[in-house]
Amino acid sequence: MRPMLATAAEAPPRGDAWVHEVKWDGMRVLADVRSGSVTVTSRTERDVTAAFPELDALAGTYDDLLLDGEVVALDEGLPSFHALTERMHVTKRAQAERLARSRPVTLMVFDLLRLFGQDLTGQPWSARRRLLEELELDGRAWRVPEVHDDGAVLLRVTGEQGLEGVVSKRRDARYLPGRRSPDWRKVAHRRTYSVVVGGWRPEVGSGASSADRLGAVLVGLPDGEGGWRYAGRVGSGLAGSAGEALLRRVRRHECDAPPFADEVPRIDASGTTWVEPAVVVEVRTLQLTPDHRLRQPTFLGVRADLTPDELQEVEEGG
Which among 83, 76, 112, 116 is positioned nearest to 100, based on CA atoms?
83
Residues 6+ apart with CB under 8 A from 217: 197, 199, 200, 201, 233, 234, 238, 246, 250, 281, 299
Element counts in the chain: helices (H) and strands (E): 7, 21
Locate the domains of the chain by residue range. Answer: 5-188, 191-316
pLDDT reported for residue 257: 96
By CB atoms closer than 10 A (0-12, 13-18, 19+), residue 303 is middle
pLDDT reported for residue 317: 39
pTM: 0.72
CB contact burial 258-294 (16+ within 10 A = b; e otherwise): bbbeeebeeebbeebebbbbbbbbebbbbbbbeeebb
Ranking 9-18, 24-33, 139-148, 280-289 by mean pLDDT, the lowest is 280-289
Higher pLDDT, 206 or 213: 213
pLDDT reported for residue 182: 96
| Bridge-based pairing state of the strands 214-222 and 191-202 | antiparallel
The answer to whether 169 is a known catalytic residue is: no
CATH class label, 5-188: alpha beta
pLDDT in tens, 220-274: 999 989 999 999 999 999 988 889 999 999 999 999 999 999 999 999 999 999 9
Q: Distance (Å, rounded) from C-alpha 36 to C-alpha 40? A: 14
pLDDT reported for residue 130: 98
Task: Tell which CATH architecture fits domain 191-316.
Answer: Beta Barrel (2.40)
pLDDT in tens, 60-92: 999 999 999 999 998 888 888 878 877 887 889
Q: Identify the band that residue 211 occupies on the pLDDT scale cut at 50, 70 and 90.
A: low
**What percentage of the chain has pLDDT greater than the value 90?**
73
The residue from 23, 92, 169, 186 that is catalytic is 23
Mean pLDDT score of the chain: 91
